[in-house]
Structure 1
């Protein structure tokens, strides 16, 4: 299984399912990601935002937003 675009190439952790969110930076550049890597990517940004993809499970973006608050960014 390929990894989601939000997973850092050097991060060995597996995805937590299919991409369900888009994480954007301040300039609106972003990546789609699973909930785990989406949260880690969001935690790495200053002023990032998260949006659920159209077919995402209910409250996926909210879970990613909350998880990012307690997730360490990838070094």
Structure 2
């Protein structure tokens, strides 16, 4: 049984497949990074504090901004299903903005 290789940005516990070749690099606050497909790069970026995303030289136009926008709506560590997401650090940035609007 052979497995399809996944991009370096795919977390070992994330069961989802890549949506294409690596097109961006995701960097954390210490500048450690991983190249990834748009799907896994967005999931990784959503799981980092102070992460950044940059297009690779041969990336399609808009790849980094698509990853950035997708990450905004993804909860950190989305492969951890069933866990309560009650703290701001456990929710997506978009959900936290929505909830802050309700609290005012």
**TM bracket (short chain):** over 0.9
In the TM superposition, structure 1's runs of 4+ consecutive aligned residues that sit over 4 Å from their partners are none
Structure 2 runs not aligned, ≥5 long: 81-104
Q: With CA pairs under 8 Å and 6+ residues apart, which has the higher RCO, 1 or 2?
A: 1
| Largest Rg, 1 or 2 | 2
- Which structure: greater helix fraction? 2
Structure 1 runs not aligned, ≥5 long: none
Name 2:13's counterpart in structure 1. 10
**How many pairs align?**
75
In the superposition, the TM-score normalised over structure 2's length comes to 0.70
SS in 1 for 2:25: strand
- Which structure: greater strand fraction? 1
User: Root-mean-square deviation (CA), in Å?
Assistant: 0.8
Q: Following the alignment from structure 1 to structure 2, what is the Cα–Cα distance between the partners of residues 18 and 73?
A: 22
User: Pairwise mapping of residues 1-75 of structure 1 onto structure 2 (< 5 A)?
Assistant: 1-74=4-77, 75=80
